[in-house]
């Protein structure tokens, strides 16, 4: 019986895995908000891990039936992105090595045997992509950071022995920081020409730009768990999308070009031969110029998520589970920026809605020790023409292992390790617009090994 149950669980996982080969992806989302669920490859909407992380993975799951009990849990996932840009011609450029911590905190309280309340803090959307300041894509971005912190008060109710429901209200605080360079050759010389027309070399740095903004928005989160019998549960959750109207500033730092104008260049600009280009452009960095500290406004979407899944107990202590996730990435079509002096600019992204699959096994080796493992596969939300240094995403495969140990009746610790392998993907380092559809000129490579740890305290 034990062998048959294990084979059944493996077959279910394999079937889900085969269907996942066409799954699509997650853009700039983050799903590792609890080491226990991370060890399940994120699967668990039908039966969330014990502790408060159900606030994110399914708000209905915070009801445990243990009247008067508190649970406080906290953890962190370390994300170390590694990758490179390999141009069709030229020298490859590596990502700057970073180790990015993504924390999570949850507190829940059981009120009687049928109600529970709680509050959680997590970051379902965000990214940090950093390249050397001299990288070929620096005129689009050499460092981009998006942080979307969700604080979610939550309430849940057990309707009967089969049905639990839950809902949360999300307060979303977002911050965006973008660093890039300005190319002197791209500056307007007239209504129809740029400085490149008079021979200023493409790739001439003239200014370093930092744009920073913050904003607050609101969303909602709904969850349902339905237990068909003692062995099988179904679950669903829906987190509404929201839009951040961010406001902040843009600052400019002048970079000397060291270029002295030739006779032809000087004549075109109406200045003496040998005049430094920096002198011609100096006025742009003073009052009345475009490269002065100024306000900036941006609109950033946080897409909606719908997740459905199951949890099947195939034998005592052994569970197989799987989730399917729909994310409405089509909300990230354009990223409009409005600078107070320089004027409006649009970054075209053209993302598409995506579907992802996760599947996992969890086995209670002893009453205190649980082992977990799973995998997920997905494609890319970005179309081929918007794969840039800002977010060079592609199809990914991930394998995860994890474990949890109950130290005593009130303390549990969890850990998980995830290996991400992203497919190589063609991309670009120049700005794409519908009227200037530049071609991809190289390949982005990416991988990461994530470590998640956490602890839960019940009392």
pLDDT of residue 17: 35
- Under 8 Å between Cβ of 291 and 285: yes
Low-confidence residues of the chain: pLDDT under 70: 1-27
Read off φ and ψ for residue 16, nearest 5 degrees.
-65, -40
Integer Cα distance of 64 and 458 in angstroms: 12
pLDDT of residue 153: 98
pLDDT of residue 21: 32
pLDDT tens readout for residues 105-163: 999 999 988 999 999 999 998 888 999 999 999 999 999 988 889 999 999 999 999 99
338, two tokens: 């409005």
Integer Cα distance of 448 and 77 in angstroms: 12
H helical segments located in 106-255: none
**Which residues are 224's β-sheet partners?**
165, 236
pLDDT of residue 16: 34
pLDDT of residue 26: 56
Integer Cα distance of 238 and 259 in angstroms: 56
Integer Cα distance of 52 and 70 in angstroms: 10
Which DSSP letter does residue 418 get? E
2-458 fold: Porin (2.40.160)
Read off φ and ψ for residue 11, nearest 5 degrees.
-65, -40
Integer Cα distance of 200 and 194 in angstroms: 9
Residue 253, number of CB atoms within 10 A of its CB: 11
In this structure, the dihedral spanned by the alpha carbons of residues 288, 290, 295 and 297, taken in order and rounded to 10 degrees, is 140
3-state DSSP call for residue 368?
coil
pLDDT tens readout for residues 433-448: 888 888 899 999 999 9
pLDDT of residue 110: 94
> Structure pTM?
0.88
pLDDT of residue 7: 36
pLDDT of residue 335: 84
């Amino acid at each position: 019986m034990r062998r048959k149950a294990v084979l059944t669980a493996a077959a279910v996982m394999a079937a889900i895995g085969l269907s996942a080969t066409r799954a699509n992806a997650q853009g700039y989302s983050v799903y590792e908000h609890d080491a226990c669920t991370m060890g399940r490859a994120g699967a668990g909407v039908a039966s969330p891990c014990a502790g408060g992380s159900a606030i994110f993975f399914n708000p209905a799951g915070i009801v445990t039936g243990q009247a008067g009990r508190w649970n406080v849990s906290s953890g962190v996932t370390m994300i170390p992105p590694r990758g490179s840009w390999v141009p069709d011609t030229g020298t490859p450029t590596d990502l700057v090595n970073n180790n990015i911590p993504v924390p999570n905190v949850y507190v829940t309280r059981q009120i009687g045997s049928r109600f529970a309340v709680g509050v959680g803090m997590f970051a379902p959307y965000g990214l940090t992509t950093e390249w050397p300041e001299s990288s070929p894509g620096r005129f689009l971005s050499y460092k981009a950071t998006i942080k979307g912190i969700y604080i979610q008060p939550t309430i849940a109710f057990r309707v009967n022995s089969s049905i639990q429901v839950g809902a949360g209200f999300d307060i979303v605080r977002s911050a965006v920081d973008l660093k890039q360079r300005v190319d002197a050759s791209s500056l307007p010389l007239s209504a129809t020409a740029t400085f490149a027309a008079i021979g200023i070399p493409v790739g001439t740095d003239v200014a370093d730009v930092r744009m920073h903004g913050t904003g607050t928005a609101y969303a909602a989160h709904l969850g349902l768990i339905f237990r068909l019998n003692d062995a099988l549960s179904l679950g669903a959750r829906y987190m509404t999308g929201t839009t951040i109207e961010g406001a902040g500033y843009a600052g400019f730092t002048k970079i000397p070009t060291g270029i002295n104008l030739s006779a032809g260049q000087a004549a075109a600009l109406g200045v003496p031969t040998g005049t430094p280009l920096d002198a011609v452009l100096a006025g742009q960095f003073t009052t009345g110029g475009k490269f002065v500290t100024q306000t900036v406004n941006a609109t950033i979407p946080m897409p909606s998520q719908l997740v459905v899944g199951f949890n099947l107990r195939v034998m005592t202590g052994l569970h197989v589970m799987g989730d399917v996730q729909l994310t409405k990435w089509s909300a990230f079509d354009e990223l409009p920026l409005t600078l107070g002096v320089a004027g409006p600019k649009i970054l075209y992204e053209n993302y598409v809605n995506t579907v992802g699959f996760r599947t996992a096994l969890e086995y209670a080796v002893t009453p205190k020790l649980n082992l977990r493992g799973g995998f997920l596969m997905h494609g890319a939300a970005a179309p081929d023409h918007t794969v840039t240094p800002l977010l060079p995403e592609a199809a990914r495969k991930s394998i995860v292992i994890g474990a949890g140990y109950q130290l005593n009746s009130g303390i549990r610790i969890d850990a998980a390790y995830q290996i991400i392998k992203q497919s190589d993907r063609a991309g670009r380092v120049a700005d794409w617009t519908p009227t200037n559809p530049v071609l991809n000129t190289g390949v982005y490579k990416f991988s990461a090994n994530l470590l998640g740890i956490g602890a839960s305290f019940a009392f």
